[in-house]
Chains A and B, each alone.
Chain A
Amino acid sequence: MFEKRMHITDIVTSVSGGVRSAVDVAQEYLNRIAERDKELHAFLLVNPEHALAEAAAVDERVRKGEEQLPLAGVPIAIKDNMCIAGTVTTAGSKMLANHIAAYDAFVVKKLRAAGAVLIGKTNMDEFAMGSSTENSAYGPTKNPIDTSRVPGGSSGGSAAAVAADMVPVALGSDTGGSIRQPAAFCGVVGLKPTYGSVSRSGLIAMASSLDQIGPLATSVADAETLFNVIRGKDPKDATSVVPRERPTKTVGWTVGVPKEYFADGLDPEIKKIIQNTIDLLEKNGAIIKDISLPHSPHALAVYYIIMPAEVSSNLARFDGLRYGYFESTGTLAGDYLKSRSNGFGKEARRRIILGTHVLSSGYYDEFYGRAQKVRTLIAQDFTTAFESVDVILTPTSPTLPFKFGEKTSDPLTMYLSDVYTVPVNLAGVPALSLPCGKVGNLPVGVQLIGKPFDEGTLFALGAEIERLTEKEG
Chain B
Amino acid sequence: MISKDTIKKLASLARLEVTDAEVETLAREAGSILNYAESLNTLDVAEVTPMTHAELLENVIRDDVAIPTDEAERNRMMSQLAKAKDDQLQVPNVFGNV
Contacts and interface: CB of A to CB of B under 8 A. Distances in A.
Interface of A: 85-86, 98-103, 194-196, 209, 235, 238-239, 241, 295, 297-298, 300-302, 304-305, 312, 316, 319-324, 326, 328, 330-333, 335-338, 340-341, 344, 349-350, 352-354, 356-357, 360, 367, 369-377, 379, 410-412, 415, 427-429, 452
Given A332-B93, A353-B10, A367-B37, 20 more contacts: A101-B76, A103-B73, A194-B54, A195-B53, A239-B53, A239-B57, A320-B82, A328-B82, A330-B92, A331-B97, A332-B91, A337-B16, A340-B14, A349-B18, A349-B22, A369-B50, A373-B51, A377-B48, A429-B54, A452-B54
B17 interface: yes
Nearest to A337: B17
B92 A371 contact: no
Contacts, number: 178
A238 B16 contact: no
A421 to B, nearest CB: 15
A102 B82 contact: no
A376 B62 CA distance: 31
Interface string B66-98: 000010111011011111000001011110111
A340 B15 contact: yes
Interface string B22-44: 10001001101110110111010
Nearest to B82: A326
A335 B16 contact: no
Contacts of A336: 15
Interface residues of B, number: 56
Contacts of B74: 102
A91 to B, nearest CB: 15
A375 B83 CA distance: 43
A353 B40 contact: no
Given A196-B55, A350-B29, A321 B81 contact: yes
A109 B33 CA distance: 39
Given A86-B76, A322-B82, A360-B10, A428 B53 contact: yes
Given A103-B73, A370-B40, A371-B40, A376 B48 contact: yes
Contact of B92 (A304, A331, A341): A331
B32 A367 contact: no
B76 A85 contact: yes
B73 to A, nearest CB: 5
Contacts of B65: none
A408 B13 CA distance: 27
A102 B94 contact: no
Contacts of B50: 369, 372-373, 375-376
Contacts of A427: 54
Nearest to B77: A102
A209 B76 contact: no
Contact of A357 (B6, B53, B91, B98): B6
Given A323-B80, A332-B93, A357-B10, A374 B40 contact: yes
